[in-house]
Every structure is written in structure tokens, then in C-alpha cells.
Structure 1
């Protein structure tokens, strides 16, 4: 990790995917980590697909997808202009073509269309929405960090609605959410999505799931599948080999497979 000073910003440059992806991000506030890389490795995409990353931050998840799948038409959607600027820098520094749009994911359809994101125009959406419940988590005094982490009562529903509007028929949504909120996700996905695949993520074999990765198909009708759990650490307490390969950019998760 290298710490740099950009004009008016205190940023670090960090390596992801075993150093294949270098990202500049703010030293304080929300920072990309394992969640973003797991989300990217669970996102199905093919060359030529138009892929939108909602709440992209500095571009971590979307750029990781583009590193894995060549020639995707990548759009990074981020409400914070400072993070969006860093996302543009990161795309250029990693030689990845990406359009970066400063936009609130909860905006109306007209705002999306004005930014070039028309209904039924995208093959895949990935998202890591703010998911902390303000009633159960101490709110950060850092406003940007609060925006990135804390969900309102309508955040999830509105983000999924935006994805449903934007996706083509049979387009795929991939998201990561806290495991204890899975009921909220399933309820929000009932409107317009099906063919769900759910991947629980556990810290280790003895712990309850801490995250769920979910892939859903717009208009899908296949039965829901719950995949074998992903353990971040194996039975001996050591880092799981599969997870380490994913984080090193050498593997993908089952949700990304056809």
C-alpha cells in the first residue's frame, strides 16, 4: 500500500486481485475490501455485455469484473462526486474503458435516462448497497461513510427497483447484503425477479453467515437455489483456499457461472 497526497485529498493506492488491479481510494471513510471483490467474482458477464455497477465508490467491484471479462461496456454509478472522480482515475490507471456517472441510484427514471441509462438497456447490474440498520449500528460522524454504509427503510427496495428498470429481460442482478437481512432482499426481489441463486458467506465453519451473495434474473422463473456455503476460513482456522484464489483474481464464485 502506498499513501499519496492528491490536491485536497488524503488517499492510498491499494492492490486488489493479486496486484492486477490498483485502486486509489480515500484514506478515511468507506474503503473497498473483500465484499467488493466477492461481489465482482459472483457477477456473471460476457464480452460485449453492458454492465452497471450501482454505488460504485472508487470503482472496485465494477473494475474487477472488467479485469476478468474483456470488452464489457462498463458503467460506474456513484452519488459522491469525489469518489466518482477517483473511479475515473482508477479506470484510466488500469487501462479499463468505463463510463462514470454521478447519480443517486434512487433517482427517478428520467434522471437515469438523461445520464444515458435507459430502461431495458443493461445486461448485468451489480450492487453493494448501504446495508447497516441505523437502529442497530452506531452512525458514523463521517457523512460520506454514513451514506455508504447506512440504509434507510427504502434503500434496498429502491435500488432493486432501479436495477429492474434498467435491466433487459433476462438480465441479471448480483448483490451482496448482510445475512441477517436476507428476508428483506427476498421480499424486494419478488417484484420482477426470479431464478434466484443464493450463496451464504460465513467467517468460519462454526459461525452464522455474515453475508449473502444473490444472483437474480429479471423475469426468471426457475426455482430458487441455495448454494453450498462459502467459508472465509476453513475448519483449521486458516484462510480458505478458494477465497484466496478469488481475491487473487485466479477464480470465480459459482454465481458467476452460466
Structure 2
């Protein structure tokens, strides 16, 4: 079995985490994809959930693709893609060393080959190239950038949680710029963002991306969408498409059956079709 491509990576099935800080961290082990993945994450601060799984289910990938998860956290979205599509070359990029250690351990514990890189997504091209993320080297990028508007959301006193949730005025454009730089021509970007920020997404994608597809996500059928899933192609020229909305809960407030299948890893979203 291939190991994660980092020195001192734990063996598959091991609970070892590399740093003393990660060892001391209070973590939970949570099941994703109906138990196909069991992943450790901090009990406090930013915790991965439905957004990461929906992002993975919207990400198109084929065996042999080099796939980069930017802002990977503990690796949920990228590892969910790798669990669905065998044979991808997965790279998990995360700025927080402690979360990176957890991502490394999660990959190994689930028997998934992944390279884990500690790197700021807003770093320059030279920093990316030094980590073997050169321009035009990636087939698929997925990302869940910090997206809460700082004008309407008080930043969490927990530094990691605040960094994970609250965007600056340049966050989205910087992350999409990084994705455009490392993607090959016709490479695919998928991202999740808040629904009221659609105009920001389209504006940022206008520089180098096309063939945009949008899938609104509603927590409740009676209220406007609160998330959007977006797929775009570097250099794409097809008209923008808006897919029928995904309702997380039905009219009675119960979880939508289709969503349950997606969260259990038994179905994908239309954005994942290529």
C-alpha cells in the first residue's frame, strides 16, 4: 500500500500524529460517507461537515488526475474524492500545521495516498513551485475558501476558526487566482461559497475561467439558497448554466433522500459529471 508522500507519515491504521501539538489536541473521530471514511478533527474550532462532502460530490475526477484540495483542513473533501475515484494523485494544501498533521494521519489511517503540504493559498507562484505546485501542473482543484463576510460576522476568538470562516476583501480572488495558476489548460475548478456572494464568484472567475456551472443549495425549501456549488473550466467557452437547486431538507423538514445518498457516498452531484 502506497504511503502518504511526506517524511514520518504514520502507517495506515496508525493513530500517530507527528507533532506534539497535534498529540495534545482534543480531537474526535467522525464518520463520513456512511462510514467509508473515519477522520480525526478538532472538537473545537472549525469542523468539517456537509459543505466538504457536497464539495467532494461536485468535483469531477478521473483515475490519473492530479487533484489539489486548497485549504484542505483535516482533508475531508479531498479524501472523499479519493475514496470515490481510485488512482488520483491527491495533494492536500493547508496553512495550519496542526490541521496538516491531522490530514496526513487521516490519509494514512484510511489507506489513501496523499501529499500534504503546509502552504498559504495566497502565497506567490515561487512558494507554490517550491512545493511542486508549478503553473499548469494540476488537473482538478477543489476548494472551500473562508467565505463569511467580516462586516456581518464577528470573527471567532479562536484563531484557526476565524481564519477558516471569515474572508477578507481579497480572499476569493486570491484563491481563484492560485487555482488558475496551477491548473492545466481545460483544468477544472470546483468551489463552495455563500449564495449571496454569487456576483463575487462570477467576477473572480471572469479572469481565465469559463463554462461555469452553478448549483444552488438550500437548507430549507421555504428559504433562499445559502450556498452555491460552482464548477468552472480554465479557458472554457461554454455558456453559464444553472442547475436545479439541491434541497437539503424536504417540505416537512426531514432530510432529503437524495442528499442522504450523497452524504453516504452513494451518489454524486451533476457538477461531477464530465
Q: d(CA) in 2 for partners of 1:54 and 1:116? A: 14
Equivalent residue in structure 2 for 1:143, among 159, 173, 176: 159
Verify: 1:110 aligned to 2:126, yes or no: yes
Deviates most, 234-243 or 67-76: 234-243
1:235 is displaced (CA, Å) by 2.1
CA–CA distance in structure 1, aligned partners of residues 252 and 73 of structure 2: 35
Measured in 2, the distance between the counterparts of 1:224 and 1:198 equals 8
2:247 pairs with one of 203, 227, 231: 231
Report the Cα distance in structure 1 between the residues aligned to 2:169 and 2:33, rounded to whole angstroms: 34
Matched, 1:40 2:56: yes
Instruction: After TM superposition, list the pairs within 5 Å mapping 1:25-64 onto structure 2.
Output: 25-64=41-80
**1:60-209 equivalent positions in 2, closer than 5 A:** 60-209=76-225
Distance in 1 separating the partners of 2:258 and 2:87? 26
Greater strand share, structure number:
1
The Cα of 1:206 is off from its aligned counterpart by: 1.1
TM-score w.r.t. length of structure 1: 0.97
SS at match of 1:84: helix
Query: How far did residue 237 of structure 1 move?
Result: 1.9
Structure 1 residues without counterparts, runs of 5 or longer? none
Instruction: Please list every run of at least 4 consecutive aligned residues from structure 1 whose deviation after the TM superposition is greater than 3 angstroms.
Output: none
Give the CA deviation at 1:204: 1.9
Q: Provide the rounded CA distance (Å) in 1 between the counterparts of 2:207 and 2:82.
A: 29
Distance 1:236 1:253 in 2: 23
| Secondary structure, counterpart of 1:208 in structure 2 | coil
Q: CA RMSD in A?
A: 0.9
In structure 2, distance between residues paired with 1:32 and 1:101 = 19
**SS of structure 2 residue aligned to 1:124:** strand
Q: Deviations over 1:222-256 (max 9, x none)?
A: 00000000000112321111100000010000000
Secondary structure class of the residue paired with 1:7: helix
Classify the secondary structure of the residue corresponding to 1:148. helix
SS in 2 for 1:209: coil
Q: Report how many residues are paired.
A: 254
> 2:229 maps to which residue?
213
TM-score by length of 2: 0.92
Q: Deviations over 1:51-99 (max 9, x none)?
A: 0000000000000000000000000000000000000000000000000
